[in-house]
Structure formats: structure tokens, C-alpha cells
Amino acid sequence: MEQNYTKEHATKELLTKNRSILYRSFGDRLFSYSVFGLGITVILCTVLMALVLYGDGAEAIKKFGFFGFLTGRVWDPGITMEFGAYPFILGTLITSLAALAISFIPAISVAIFTAEYSPRWLSSIIDNLVNLIAAVPSVIIGLWGIFIFAPWMRDTFYTHIYMWFLDHYPTMLPIVGNPIGYGMTTAILILAMMIIPYTTVITVDAVKKVPKEQREAAYALGATKWEVIRMAVLPYARGGILAGVMLSFGRAIGETMAVAMLIGNRNNLPFSILGPASTMPSVIVNEFREAVENIHLSSIIAVGFYLFIISLIVNLIAAYIQRKFSLTGARTI
């Protein structure tokens, strides 16, 4: 009888007592508090950043309206002091989406080659080189672009394209734009090159994580190597691949230095294919030193605020897509 009582008693005690009793020792508590504190700091930093950006950009946002600023097509820090972020949002979206589209196939191909086809020594070399591209500071890529890539593209392609349109479809020239070398196309190509590593690295990881059983099942059906990749590997890795693509997209949206150096920095619409344009980060980095008027500075910070929001949305979409398409846990077996 007594034994029963103590047993019940002990159970009752365990159920009713505070959960924190589990963290009774001082070391445990200290650790859990400091981890909690550090974790909260990250969230606080993000929130504060958004608040500061909003606070400092509030003057512009109030003057031109929350959506008015988004859709304003004029950016004139000289005379009228009218500011609108529309050209930069457009420039950012065009350059990053185009860069993403251009980089996708090469990035995936490199990933499949290193993960599936190349011998180990070669894939480790390729992996390192790809990582190196990501590690090169963007200002160096920008320098290379200014002195080598852009002039070369201008002499080899842009001028000829321009001349061809001049001869055949002169009416198209405003869309083609001036072939000065520094413009939308150059920025897109450099950006595409810069984001390839992000897609590649994550795709390689995702491809390597595909279970051996899945590959063998496809091989056992009589699939060739390519058919195995198409039938078993890529569908299984699609969550990871999409995550890589979204990460690259976020990176392309936020890329500042190389783009600012190569895009030609034209602040007003209309943009053209070869001609200069501008993106949200490039206008911020180009103008913040010269902003004397309060409303100008405030507008620049407001652009930063909208950039912050766009990045946030892209990240949320990325997380959603990854969750929806990745195959882990209960869904497989």
C-alpha cells in the first residue's frame, strides 16, 4: 500500500510541478537564458531595422503617399524635388528576374555535372571554383566589369546589334538603347554570373541528399543515367533546387556594388535593353553621399525601406515554396 502511495505521489508531483524544475541547475539556466537572449536579439535587430528605415523614410512616404512613392515615375533631386521609386523597383525586378532566368540552366547543369557525372577530383575542383566566385567581393567583379567585360561586350556585340537595328528597324532603337557598354544587359549578365554559385551549391547538396534507394529503384527499372536523374533525382531534389533559386533571387535583388558600377545609373524611365538603367540598391549607394535636402535623403531611405520589404516577401515566398515542395518525413515513407 505504501509503495503504491509513493508511486502515485511521485507521478502527481512530476505532473503538477513547474516544467522549469527540469532546468534546475545553474549551468542549465544560464545556458538557456543566454541562448534565448541571443535568439531574441536577432528578431529585435530585424524589427528595429525596419522601424528605423520607416522612421527616416517617413517624410518622403508621407509627402508622396505609401503607394504614391511606389508608383511615382519621377526622381528629380535637382529642381522639382519630386521623388518616386517606380523606376528603381522596375529596374531591380527586371535585372534580378532576367539574371535568374539566364543563370538557372548553367547553374543546374554545373550542379548535375559535379554531383553525378564528373570524377571526384574534378568535382572538388569545380566546387571550389564555384565557391570562389561567391567569395570574390562584388566590387572586384565590378572593376573587372568596368574595365574588361563591358568594353569587350560593347565592341563585340552591342555596337553590331545597334548598327543592325539602325539599318533594318530604326524605329526599334529607343527599345534597344545606346550601346555605351554600361547598361541593363551588362548588369544582368554580371549579376547572372554572380548568382550561379548560390543555385549551384544548394542544388549539389539537394542532389547528393537524394536517397540511394531512389536512384537504385530507377536503375533497376532499366533507366539510363540521364533517365535516373530525370525520373528519380531531380523530382526528389526539387525543394532544394527551388530554395537555391530563391536564395539567388534574393541575392540578385540586393546586389549593390557590381550593379551600381555597371548599370549606367539612369534615374528616369524609359529604360532600354542596352542602355543605362538603375536599381534600388544602386540608387541608394550612388546618391546617399550627395543628398543635402532632407526630402532627398528621406526618399533614399524610403527606397531602402521598400527594398527591405521586397526582400522579406521574397524570403517568405522561398520558405513557403521550400516547405511545399521538399520531400521529407512523412510524405515519403
Partner 1 sequence: MGYPITQKVENNFPQSGVRSKIIDHMTLRLETKKLSVIYGTIYGIKDVSLPIYDKKVTALIGPSGCGKTTFLRSLNRMHDLTRNTLIKGNVYLNGEDIYAPKVDPVMVRRRLGMVFQKPTPFPTMSVYDNVIAGLKLVGIKNKLILDEAVEKSLRHAALWDEVKDRLSSPGGSLSGGQQQRLSIARALAVEPEVLLMDEPTSSLDPQSTSRIEELIDTLKKKVTIVIVTHNMQQAARVSDFTAFFYLGSIVEHNTTSKMFTVPENKRTEDYMTGKFG
Minimum distance between the CB of residue 101 and partner 1, rounded to whole angstroms?
24
The residue (of 12 and 230) whose beta carbon lies closer to partner 1 is 230
The residue (of 105 and 220) whose beta carbon lies closer to partner 1 is 220
Would you say the C-alpha torsion 110, 112, 117, 123 has a positive or negative sign? positive
How many helices and strands (H and E) does the chain possess? 16, 2
Minimum distance between the CB of residue 114 and partner 1, rounded to whole angstroms?
16
Paired residues of 83 in beta bridges = 75
The residue (of 79 and 330) whose beta carbon lies closer to partner 1 is 330
The answer to whether the peptide bond before residue 77 is cis (omega within 30 degrees of 0) is: no
**Degrees (nearest 5) of the Cα angle 291, 294, 299?**
75
Measured distance CA(142)–CA(255) in Å, rounded: 11
Minimum distance between the CB of residue 331 and partner 1, rounded to whole angstroms?
5
The residue (of 150 and 218) whose beta carbon lies closer to partner 1 is 218
Measured distance CA(19)–CA(17) in Å, rounded: 6
Minimum distance between the CB of residue 227 and partner 1, rounded to whole angstroms?
6
The residue (of 175 and 234) whose beta carbon lies closer to partner 1 is 234
Alpha carbon separation from 163 to 31, 273, 310 (Å, rounded): 68, 14, 38
Measured distance CA(17)–CA(193) in Å, rounded: 59
Minimum distance between the CB of residue 128 and partner 1, rounded to whole angstroms?
22
Crossing angle of helices 294-325/280-287, nearest 10°? 150
Minimum distance between the CB of residue 224 and partner 1, rounded to whole angstroms?
5
Residue 82: other Cβ atoms inside 10 A:
15
Per CB under 8 A, residues contacting partner 1 are 213-224, 227, 231-232, 235-236, 238, 327, 331-333
The residue (of 17 and 225) whose beta carbon lies closer to partner 1 is 225
Contact, 110 vs 323, CB < 8 A? no
